[in-house]
Structure 1
């Protein structure tokens, strides 16, 4: 495949009827016909006003009878016509280079005036420049070929250093082949064949047990190379993979695809073993470090590669490296554009990933509908802002349980540890009390804006320990980071502060608007109603659970969200909208983690949003449940491939990022896409149970809840701040509170308690995504996409 540097270029696809046919083209002929009208230009790789890196795939639609040989193309007045030729696919394609930053005018005309021309203005930005955002977060420390010591940097996996502060780096390619060794125990492993340098090992080599080894043209023997048969290809091909690595949107990316080193590959004529589809692997966890890094997600994806899919990864679409969900969507947009321009037009762009990788898939589909054509979800979380509800609730609860009010009450009643744990379980809604321990330890400090010492739960009884290690979420030197007393203007390192270009700042502050709120939440309400906790325990709990302030410090008062933060979360689709995600096929692979953080109810929370926002219909989401002893990745990809093929046939996209609707998704749904589970007693995984009533009774698959649901909230768990009603003791039914307890509850809920019967929360409104944040925080709906005009 011919490669270019990172210089600008424009690729044009010209479609016309009557190619190279017709007469009367001589403009000097006295009988020459008037110019044919109807010429138009459209962008195939994205929006005309969001071109990046000087590249755009463009289609010029000529009127019937027009002769492409008479086509003249100019960009900014520069003639690029000599680059064009009639290709074997019946299209005239050409390469135009040199797009400037900002506006560029394409003009298409006829050299002999046989057809009318057209013009279109493209708006071009640098490959690492913001497009959907007004700015990218700074400081941001670029990775280097070797990990830095004097200036701390990560190893980039590239051989050249960045040339500017935007981490611009020369693109590189490598070839690897799949060995004949079987994968698994005693065999090879699907690990990265080019591990990053470290201080201890500055020149790492390919691990001997790697299933992929370096391919050297003319040296590697064909007899050493495994073969594979991609989807849609009848004959096996050598399993050789080309990996392109570079920097897009300041994130380090890899693109891996089956490749024949003996054949050319151009965007207009891709090699046939590529299915024209991409699996984008999104990485898990969540974080907001200010360091560029290699992706945590891996291109070494045998499931996808062996079937002819390209595998795409980018460090900024790994949730551990970037929790700004609009920046994630912007990065996907740029990745997709680059792939189309370099490798050819797409027949599908599919997400894949677990946990934080599920969050990124869901939020990209909600923030920027149409970027992803299918979601392969594992360990589902709908989004990060509503996941934070459970995190913050658990942090409040574990700290309350360890405090004097609760421990004193438990001691006063003479309860055993097992009895105490049962009460915590009833309040938390999980399998047992350990779930909230896991949340608090893993992400309890994720929104700390400054330097902190993590408070950790150290045993099953909930004892707390303060780590002696001082750290911060930016991973920057402590002196650079915010401190309310000594450095109030320092760099803030919380999750919302990493996306301040989206959220904006709270009035009179330099901090981002935030959505954390628990005003009016009656913790343990259903536990009280069931008799699992007493009236006194309920009152003591709500009296002492408190909240957190804008710096994520525990406070006696309840947490209060910023009104603008609530509006932005809903309007932008950052809180995932059931309407938006109904427009994409979803295969949800659910395995239990009921003592960790990945609870079964999360898949059904997404389903509840779909049903509510689509007249009860959630059919675009398929849930496959098991106890984790079987991988469903291959089955998922085959089913998704079939689904996309049907969609492409029945509802072809008018443009690469066009949005389908739920009816189209359902009409194309394949027979293999149905809900099922494997029961834990089915050790051979031979029986797919389609009755979820049966599945729900299987111990590992039981659907439990969360602290907010125990407090009366819906399973959709998308109410960031509840609407309130006056405290009314008649609402508690036959539960009796003493006069003193009533007085204490009135003090706690002076403004009222959550009224879950009212639809929606405070400032909750329908998503109007996609929003463009280029003009500043809050976002505005996209303007109409520019269209060509006649000349």
Structure 2
């Protein structure tokens, strides 16, 4: 592999905002455009989800009223039930109707005014177990409901009864369980200047077969009615994404600790699902589908957020990028940390590290010096490939353990994992070419079989990876670190892995249909969708010298994909480089659970607020640049605070 020129850790300069980006608006708040005037006639649209992605028989419909028409003069009905639903005013001043009782399938919701004016919207309702758009359910023989306090699963889809529990922030700074929310503890902390009690409500349930969490301040809880007190909410939702990249065939786990008490105190709500942890299922479409369902639940049970800001690192960054690209409107801004652009395009380099590790175990490879191996690998140290080889590279083996042993051993360092550690697929259900050829295959491509299809020759998921034509060690040869004979021996002996993960002498070659499908279905980030239309602050933590897999050039590979056609930097994408926070470690980096602080969320919120208030009607790239806060620039701050 050629040496990577951006591994030196130098800081970059502020964005050169070009004006060649896309100008089309989307459903995302950040690109909503000018504030609309009252319509001439009634209008209706689904607010809680896309109209075709309603779940559970409930939906929130916004009714836009002509000037002079009172809300109580409008009746909203659903053809499937004939029931009438009142039009109410939500906290942002929108007129909404909360429709319930919809059957699975298509329904027509109609808003009618007394003068006969009407508006209709067609909706499609689905079961809360899904799927919506991710394709047929993959097997899920392992449920996690009991591990997260929801009891034994109610059905084969791992469903559970929804639970609402409360916690409180004590004066010693610890979140503690609050068994009786009707009685305030004597050591309860208060919320800022409001002096309201710092009580946190956490709803846990199942949607899309995953376990979800919604966490929000609830300063005056009512355990009898379970009605939420929204007085401390700032109208924003932070959607969290967990790291990794796995194929667990389980309901999963989360690799995220409790939400930030600092951000809770400032009024932010939080949401996530086990299927938003990439180590559970390295499938961004399944993750997007879960975001849609959980956000719908939040809109229906709490309120519709003004903005939804994505947060999370490593595999959590991949999800944010791909969801913003492929499902505009789900996320209004994103803060990908420890950023990788996507799973598919980086997988070749991951497998290369495994192949090189195998080669270094041969007599020719063992004769190479540390300097030569470092130059061949193309990283700052050989430990980077070593970490890839020990963690995610084994995902090429379909008979592997379906988890990362190192992460399991480091469970206490990863917030959010249940006491029992990672839920594991029973060994007798895992594929084995000889003893269990019909077993479950734990590879990246098998997690995405609905998206990339199956190989008609093998019946297995297509594999979008090859290494035909790769000249391993070319950079090292050009730099004079290895000679031509060493270069030729390396490339003759490197080989590849077959579909069962066996090391073979031949190079691997993916067919064109597989590669074309990976691009056509959006599995590779290309700067489309909302990626040029929403604020993005990517937080890169400098750990290259420690052998971290999150090497620095990844942030810049994303920058290259987002560049304007004239070569200038996009106005919406900032790269922040930080030192490894005190008390942090590479396990947290590896799992994507590293705490990079709240500054990016603060700046993104400021940016979104200004963008939403910009009613100029100018192209989105112009508005993004004009409303960009002073803090939203490329910058670099060391672990010691030096800028």
The structure 2 residue matched to 1:607, chosen from 549, 553, 559, is 559
User: Taking structure 1 as reference, are residues 402 and 162 closer, same or farther at Cα in structure 2, changes over 3 Å only?
Assistant: same
Show the counterpart of 1:766: none
Q: Deviation at 1:170?
A: 1.5
**Structure 1 residue corresponding to 2:296, chosen from 334, 337, 344:** 337
Task: Indicate yes or no: 2:507 matched with 1:558.
Answer: yes
What displacement does 1:90 show? 6.0
1:382-781 equivalence runs, <5 A:
382-407=341-366, 410=367, 420-451=369-400, 475-580=424-529, 581-594=531-544, 595-611=547-563, 615-629=567-581, 632-650=596-614, 661-679=620-638, 683=640, 685=641, 687-688=642-643
- After superposition, the C-alpha distances for 1:436-469 in whole angstroms (9 at most, x for unaligned) are 1111011121132125799999xxxxxxxxxxxx
Q: Match for 2:283 among 302, 311, 324?
A: 324
Q: Which residue in the other structure is 1:225 paired with?
A: 188
How far 1:95 sits from its partner (Å)? 3.6
SS of alignment partner, residue 337 of structure 1: helix
Q: Quick one: distance in 2 between partners of 1:120 and 1:455?
A: 47
TM-score by length of 1: 0.68
- The whole-number CA distance in structure 1 between the counterparts of 2:234 and 2:372 is 54
5+ residue gaps, structure 2, are: 1-35, 407-421, 583-594
* Residues 1:87 and 1:435: Cα distance change in structure 2 (over 3 Å): closer
Kept after mapping to 2: 8 A contact 1:396/1:545 = yes
1:41 to 41, 44, 51: 44
Specify the alignment match of 2:57 in structure 1: 54
8 Å Cα contact 1:296/1:318 also seen in 2: yes
Relative to 1, partners in 2 of residues 1:115 and 1:627: Cα closer, same or farther, differing over 3 Å? same
Is the contact made by 1:267 and 1:340 (CA closer than 8 Å) also made in structure 2?
Answer: no
Larger Rg: 1
C-alpha distance in 2 between matches for 1:582 and 1:175: 39
Counterparts of 1:158-177 in structure 2, within 5 Å, are: 158=150, 160-177=151-168
Distance 2:298 2:566 in 1: 33
Question: Residues 262 and 172 from structure 1, CA distance in 2 versus in 1: closer, same or farther, beyond 3 angstroms?
Answer: closer
Relative distance call for 1:294 and 1:539 in structure 2 (3 A) is closer
Alpha-carbon offset, residue 504 of structure 1: 0.9
CA shift, 1:317, in A, is 0.2
Deviations 1:97-127, CA, capped at 9 Å, x for gaps: 21000011112234x5x13223222100011
Tell me what 1:142 maps to. 143
Which string of whole-angstrom CA distances, capped at 9 and with x for unpartnered residues, describes residues 102-155 of structure 1? 011112234x5x13223222100011110112212114432343xxxxxxxxx1
Deviation at 1:652, TM superposition (A): 10
TM-score by length of 2: 0.83
Q: Any idea what the Cα deviations from partners look like across 1:155-180, whole Å, max 9, x if unmatched?
A: 1321x433222222221111111011
Would you say 1:241 and 2:225 are equivalent positions?
no
> Structure 1 pair 513/394, CA: closer, same or farther in 2 (3 Å)?
same
Contact 2:142 2:423 in 1 (8 A): no
Q: Cα 1:238–1:613, aligned 2, differ >3 Å: closer, same or farther?
A: farther
RMSD: 3.2
Q: Structure 1 666/506 Cα, relative in aligned 2: closer, same or farther at 3 Å?
A: farther
* Distance of 1:37 and 1:509 partners within structure 2: 59
**Deviation readout 1:534-575 (Å, 9 max, x if unpaired):** 111111111111112222221111111232221222122211
The 1:266–1:590 alpha-carbon spacing in structure 2 relative to 1, beyond 3 Å, is farther
Q: 1:652 to 1:645 in 2, by over 3 A?
A: farther
Provide the aligned length of Structure 1 versus Structure 2: 578
Structure 1 window deviating more from structure 2 (76-85 vs 533-542): it is 76-85
2:73 to 70, 77, 93: 70
Change (3 A) 1:598 1:92: closer
Rounded to whole Å, the distance in 1 between the matches of 2:210 and 2:252 is 7
Q: 1:58 to 1:67 in 2, by over 3 A?
A: same
Closer, same or farther in 2 for the Cα pair 1:393/1:240, shift >3 Å?
same
Aligned to 1:116: 117
The equivalent of 1:105 in structure 2 is 108
Taking a change above 3 Å as real, the CA distance of residues 639 and 667 of structure 1, as seen in their structure-2 partners, is: same
Aligned residue for 1:445, secondary structure, equals: helix
Partner of 2:148: 156
5+ residue gaps, structure 1? 1-15, 19-35, 146-154, 183-209, 411-418, 458-472, 654-659, 689-791
